[in-house]
Amino acid sequence: MRGLVEAAQRWTAEGRAAFLARPVAEQGFGPREPAGALLVDARGGCAGSLYGGVFDAELVAEAAAWRAGDTARVCEVSVGAEGAAAARLTCGGRAEVLLQPLASVPARWWELLGRGAGVALVTRLNERADRAVSEVVDAADGSADEAVRRAGELLAARRAGRDALYGQAGLVLVEAFPSAPHLVVGGGGELAEVIGAQARLLGWEAECVAGAAEAEELLAARRDAACLVMLSHDPEFDVPALRAALELGVPYVGALGSRKTTARRREGLRAAGVREAELSRVHGPIGLDLGARTPAETALAICAEILAVLAGRGVRPLRDTDGPLR
């Protein structure tokens, strides 16, 4: 969805009669981008990606047949094994896709997405699914409304995704797009470079810092999305940066090093006034127990642990194992 911002704003400025398409319900297709979306118009113009383009022509036809006055349309699409293979999908499937006029999607939604902010869109449809009203929600919204509350939960999980809620008033589509994880890598070298490459492959951001003050400044600026990956073994760097990350409550705090180095850091943090409960938030030794040896494998183990922690999934980190690190 974030990739559609430029096209959506340009098409809106042009006054183009365009529509935003995204799935409400789906079955099959195999692993794919959960936040896929498409902009279409009645002239055949498309921007974005949804199911590898296999339904683009159908959605363009739906746009061409749009009825004046409607603010939404849910259409059913399906593809068999042959069509799925041509679209490079793992398998066939079927879906209900919501088409909504671009003009009815709040401009603030595109503005916040373009800035990289963590934000959600709540779209309420009537029983016939031909009327839709969208509102923008952020993580700080304290509303008791079920859909808004669900949006907050999805944003807190820091994973882009959608959820459809069905009730007496109709369908409510909740779409959450948290800020992309921003890795603050303490230290440099080959491993830092490979971690940055792995992060970019995942659509994350990564930035190397050379000192505690620089790390703290960046963590504070991006505290909703920042993840500290401490590679430096310098006590004047690692302990202050780790303490700052814990005090700021950033989502992930990890530190590379042997068990001896990990124990030294814990003692340093205790001496700096960090409470025992906070020490448990430090992932050290860093990474999942994947048997990593090379820089590339180690970067994978680190990013995999970050992914699991942000998603709230239970996995086996190295800190919970005994014996030599290998």
Say yes or no: 162 and 254 in one domain: no
Q: What is the mean pLDDT of residues 258-262?
A: 94
Say yes or no: 20 and 119 in one domain: yes
Structure tokens belonging to residue 99: 């088409």
Q: What is the mean pLDDT of residues 90-99?
A: 88
Distances, alpha carbon 287 to alpha carbons 128, 193, 229, in Å: 49, 16, 10
pLDDT (0 to 100) of residue 28 = 83
Whole-angstrom Cα distance, residue 176 to residue 143? 16
Give a yes or no: residue 273 inside a domain.
yes
Task: Give the range of the structural domain holding residue 56, as residue numbers without chain letter.
Answer: 2-177
- Residue 46: CB partners within 8 Å, gap ≥ 6? 38, 39, 40, 53, 56, 60
- Rg over alpha carbons for the chain, rounded to the nearest Å, is 23
Least confident residue range of 5-9, 44-48, 78-82: 78-82
Whole-angstrom Cα distance, residue 151 to residue 182? 21
pLDDT (0 to 100) of residue 267 = 96
Say yes or no: 157 and 257 in one domain: no
Say yes or no: 81 and 218 in one domain: no
Cβ–Cβ under 8 Å, residues 17 and 82: no
Higher pLDDT, 147 or 190: 190
Q: What is the mean pLDDT of residues 308-324?
A: 76
pLDDT (0 to 100) of residue 326 = 53
Say yes or no: 142 and 234 in one domain: no
Give a yes or no: residue 326 inside a domain.
no
Q: What is the mean pLDDT of residues 27-39?
A: 80
Whole-angstrom Cα distance, residue 40 to residue 77? 15
pLDDT (0 to 100) of residue 324 = 64
Going by pLDDT thresholds of 50, 70 and 90, the confidence category of residue 307 is very high
Name residue, tokens 């593809």. 79
Say yes or no: 82 and 192 in one domain: no
pTM of the predicted model as reported, rounded to 2 decimal places: 0.71
Give a yes or no: residue 263 inside a domain.
yes
pLDDT (0 to 100) of residue 42 = 83
Cβ–Cβ under 8 Å, residues 36 and 48: yes
pLDDT (0 to 100) of residue 229 = 98
The answer to whether residue 141 scores a pLDDT higher than 60 is no
Whole-angstrom Cα distance, residue 81 to residue 199? 33
- Counting Cβ atoms within 10 Å, is residue 132 exposed (0-12), middle (13-18) or buried (19+)? buried
pLDDT (0 to 100) of residue 126 = 84
Q: Could you tell me if residue 230 is left (phi over 0), alpha (psi between -120 and 50 degrees) or otherwise beta?
A: beta
DSSP state of 42: T
> What mean pLDDT, rounded, does the chain reach?
89
Q: What is the mean pLDDT of residues 83-92?
A: 81
Give a yes or no: residue 325 inside a domain.
no
Domain boundary among the residues 177, 211, 238 is at 177
Least confident residue range of 182-191, 259-268, 311-320: 311-320
Give a yes or no: residue 58 inside a domain.
yes
Distances, alpha carbon 244 to alpha carbons 90, 208, 223, 240, in Å: 44, 16, 11, 6
DSSP state of 179: P
Say yes or no: 193 and 145 in one domain: no
Distances, alpha carbon 321 to alpha carbons 276, 317, 324, 326, in Å: 20, 7, 9, 11
Going by pLDDT thresholds of 50, 70 and 90, the confidence category of residue 116 is confident
Say yes or no: 54 and 31 in one domain: yes
| Number of separate domains in the chain | 2
Whole-angstrom Cα distance, residue 68 to residue 19? 13
Domain boundary among the residues 177, 206, 237 is at 177
Domain boundary among the residues 177, 194, 217 is at 177
Say yes or no: 105 and 230 in one domain: no
Give a yes or no: residue 91 inside a domain.
yes
Say yes or no: 192 and 314 in one domain: yes
pLDDT (0 to 100) of residue 264 = 96
Give a yes or no: residue 287 inside a domain.
yes
Give a yes or no: residue 245 inside a domain.
yes
Residue type, 77: V
Say yes or no: 218 and 95 in one domain: no
Say yes or no: 38 and 124 in one domain: yes
